[in-house]
Structure 1
Amino acid sequence: MYDTLKDTYQLFEEIGRGRFGTILRAYCPVSAESVAVKIIDKSVLTDETDRACLEKEPKIMTLLAPHPNILQIHNVFETEDSMAMVLELCEPETLYDRIAHRSLPETEAANIMKQLLGAIAHCHRMGVAHRDLKPENILFDSRNNLKLADFGSAEWSSEGESMEGVVGTPYYVAPEVLMGRMYNEKVDVWSAGVMLYIMLAGIPPFYGETATEIFESVLRGNLRFPPKIFRGVSPAAKDLLRKMICRDVSRRLSAEQALRHPWILNGGEANPMD
């Protein structure tokens, strides 16, 4: 594989590391384009679920392309022992880095959320649920356009169709996933809502010292807006949060509905709901 890969791309330094491999910066002389190459060592994939995810990820990313807010896949090289996915190159700073030590102004949070919801809505229209939305998976290109990445936990899901399996990350996972019930694509809306809460508050809505404590907090699902922290946050933003981080899945907004919420439409600026 490496010979074929190196015939097409010039490989440079490591720019990232995941559970199953490394990400290198690379350059394609033919297109005069810098790219990222994600190289996965299949020998470390002892779990059949992990192997299935690896096979599914490039297929899902190819299906979703092109979309301005979804990381683009350019090429795939594969042998029995390894796989290399050639991806759009993004800046090293993720959304996690941006919000690690500060909350964001509503206008900035609304701009990010509009792009993220657009990406999620596209996934759902194409019959895909991401299932692991978190700030670490939100990248930005050199023009500051949001790029949704890491579809390793994604699953095919026609609208309203049920899925199962506990996947996701403690702070962001929807309660119905933890309950072991069948669930649908709206788990992504819950996760996006949690990210919006953190963007505006600087803290997660459900907290614990351990994963178990976080899960228990998520299952209780008591969404609160501490006055000291939310004093400067608009009623419209809190209204959207309530409708995205909603335990009742039937009442939780879809990604399309969230995109039409006044707070998103007004770009986080003051509006009649305030």
Structure 2
Amino acid sequence: MSTFRQENVEDHYEMGEELGSGQFAIVRKCREKKSGLEYAAKFIKKRRLSSSRRGVSREEIEREVDILREIQHSNIITLHDVFENKTDVVLILELVSGGELFDFLAEKESLTEEEATQFLKQILDGVHYLHSKRIAHFDLKPENIMLLDKNVPNPRIKLIDFGIAHKIEAGNEFKNIFGTPEFVAPEIVNYEPLGLEADMWSIGVITYILLSGASPFLGETKQETLTNISAVNYDFDEEYFSNTSELAKDFIRRLLVKDPKKRMTIAQSLEHPWIKVIKRRNVRNEDNGKKPERRRLKTTRLKEYTIKSHSSMPPNNTYINFERFSKVMEEVAAAEESLREMERNKKSFQEDIEALRSIYEEKESWYKEENESISQDLRQIRQELQKTEALKKQAQEETKNALLVANGLKRRYRKLENRYEALAKQVASEMKFVQELVRSMEQEKLQGGEGDCGIR
């Protein structure tokens, strides 16, 4: 069982602005009072009751903390300290302030495959370290791939959010349905045994989006997305991949494989030619004799993808130079998506109402059965009580009779005792008379003997 510091975190850290929030967690910037160093404080709301769905269970928090305590890698966020109070567990984490990788790349006009793979290589290195420790992240997606600092020549990748990460133990079958639908592997969708391979599928999806700005399996609804994943229903549309190398596509194909055992491992991905010899591949010889040129990937679609993936625009709008028409189209698309979301919510609400009605009817039937059973039990209890009352009255009568008999015996005993005392007195009196008579006779005898002596 993990132990956390039972102290007030604000005695040691000054809390600053909010950096982000989730369903049961809030991340705030903080400064350690002792050292002056800046960190990120992740407040995780604890689940108070095991039956409640509000908050995170102690077991899940401990699992995340245990995993963070075990890992130490340049491409993975590090844990500095852990505090606990009545309502929250507070993780003091390395401050990752460079924003999301995709947002950073979307700011560029274009991107070479070499530049893309330089960042992808860091992702692979981080995952390779995790997998070497048998740790599966299970939530690899653009939002969890951050930059430590984007204002440096070679920004460093940081993998974050280990809330659903698990240690994969040999011989222990593990199943769960979690993660973000757009990035989960088929074995999660189909509720099959899970392993490190699920992360490799997510890397395949991330690479596909990075190179095209399109999501391979994303459908109009969550169910459509999950169906596409289960069927591995994707292709390399020429509209998105016209300027992408065949080796890059091969890298993706080897990851987006339904059978986890046939999917490329993290070690194999690091040895893939697209990762190892990207510099040579970035030069393409043109058949018409023109000067070789470096493959450049347009980031327009990646910009569009990052906009759609965020629920709201960031405070510092990096897309302010978009053409007016593009902005209008984005707003229209956002409005359409909102309408679709409302329609999905309506359908979801209807399904929830039907489910609640079914549950209510089931509960009502159960209550009726329970009521009948309880009524029967109460009738039996009443009968038993009546029998008990009758036995009680009978016992009281018998006790009363016994007392009467006892009192009669007591009176007889006293009479006999009195008679015995009278007889005893009479016997004592007679014994006294006899004793006196005997003494008198003995004295007379003695006196007679003395007279005889005088005659002689």
**Structure 1 pair 221–161 and aligned structure 2 pair: CA distance change class (3 A):** farther
Query: Mapping of 1:125-204 within 5 angstroms?
Result: 125-142=132-149, 143=152, 144-158=155-169, 162-204=173-215
**Alignment-derived partner of residue 123 in structure 2:** 116
CA RMSD, Structure 1 to Structure 2 (Å): 2.6
Instruction: Give the number of the structure with larger relative contact order, counting CA–CA contacts within 8 Å between residues 6 or more apart.
Output: 1
**Alignment-derived partner of residue 273 in structure 2:** 262
User: What is the DSSP-based 3-state SS (H/G/I as helix, E as strand, rest coil) of the residue aligned with 1:193?
Assistant: helix
Q: Which moved more, 1:158-167 or 1:216-225?
A: 158-167
**Structure 1 pair 273–101 and aligned structure 2 pair: CA distance change class (3 A):** closer
User: What is the DSSP-based 3-state SS (H/G/I as helix, E as strand, rest coil) of the residue aligned with 1:168?
Assistant: coil
CA distance in 2, matches of 1:208, 1:227: 19
**Alignment-derived partner of residue 85 in structure 2:** 79
**Structure 1 pair 29–80 and aligned structure 2 pair: CA distance change class (3 A):** closer
- Aligned letter for 1:235? E
**Alignment-derived partner of residue 68 in structure 1:** 74
**Alignment-derived partner of residue 36 in structure 2:** 32
8 Å contact kept, 2:20–2:26 = yes
CA distance in 2, matches of 1:255, 1:247: 16
Shift of 1:15: 1.2
Shift of 1:239: 0.8
Over residues 200-230 of structure 1, what are the superposed CA-to-partner deviations in whole Å (9 max), with x where a residue is unaligned? 0101111211111100111110331111211
- Aligned letter for 2:85? T
User: What is the DSSP-based 3-state SS (H/G/I as helix, E as strand, rest coil) of the residue aligned with 1:250?
Assistant: helix
| Structure with the largest fraction of strand | 1
**Alignment-derived partner of residue 12 in structure 1:** 16
Shift of 1:271: 6.9
CA distance in 2, matches of 1:250, 1:48: 37
**Alignment-derived partner of residue 57 in structure 1:** 64
8 Å contact kept, 2:112–2:282 = no
User: What is the DSSP-based 3-state SS (H/G/I as helix, E as strand, rest coil) of the residue aligned with 1:194?
Assistant: helix
Q: 2:256 aligns with which of 222, 239, 245?
A: 245
Shift of 1:161: 6.2
User: What is the DSSP-based 3-state SS (H/G/I as helix, E as strand, rest coil) of the residue aligned with 1:165?
Assistant: coil
**Alignment-derived partner of residue 225 in structure 1:** 236
Shift of 1:267: 4.1
Shift of 1:55: 2.0
Point out the structure with max Rg over C-alpha: 2
| Structure with the largest fraction of helix | 2
CA distance in 2, matches of 1:242, 1:49: 39
**Structure 1 pair 14–196 and aligned structure 2 pair: CA distance change class (3 A):** same
Which ranges in structure 2 are unaligned for 5 or more consecutive residues?
Answer: 286-456
Shift of 1:268: 6.0
Shift of 1:244: 1.0
Which ranges in structure 1 are unaligned for 5 or more consecutive residues?
Answer: none
**Structure 1 pair 160–228 and aligned structure 2 pair: CA distance change class (3 A):** farther
- Aligned letter for 2:210? M
CA distance in 2, matches of 1:164, 1:179: 10
Shift of 1:6: 1.7
Give the length in aligned residue pairs: 273
Q: Which moved more, 1:193-202 or 1:117-126?
A: 117-126
Shift of 1:7: 2.1
Shift of 1:183: 2.3
**Structure 1 pair 242–268 and aligned structure 2 pair: CA distance change class (3 A):** farther
- Aligned letter for 2:159? L
Q: Which moved more, 1:158-167 or 1:253-262?
A: 158-167
Over residues 21-61 of structure 1, what are the superposed CA-to-partner deviations in whole Å (9 max), with x where a residue is unaligned? 21111112333311100112215783499413222111101
Shift of 1:112: 1.6
Over residues 103-127 of structure 1, what are the superposed CA-to-partner deviations in whole Å (9 max), with x where a residue is unaligned? 8431222112111111111111112
- Aligned letter for 2:17? E
- Aligned letter for 2:163? G
Shift of 1:272: 10
**Alignment-derived partner of residue 210 in structure 1:** 221
**Alignment-derived partner of residue 327 in structure 2:** none
**Structure 1 pair 159–99 and aligned structure 2 pair: CA distance change class (3 A):** farther
Question: What's the TM-score once normalised by structure 1's chain length?
Answer: 0.90
CA distance in 1, matches of 2:169, 2:124: 18
**Alignment-derived partner of residue 95 in structure 1:** 101
Over residues 148-170 of structure 1, what are the superposed CA-to-partner deviations in whole Å (9 max), with x where a residue is unaligned? 11111111114796421111111
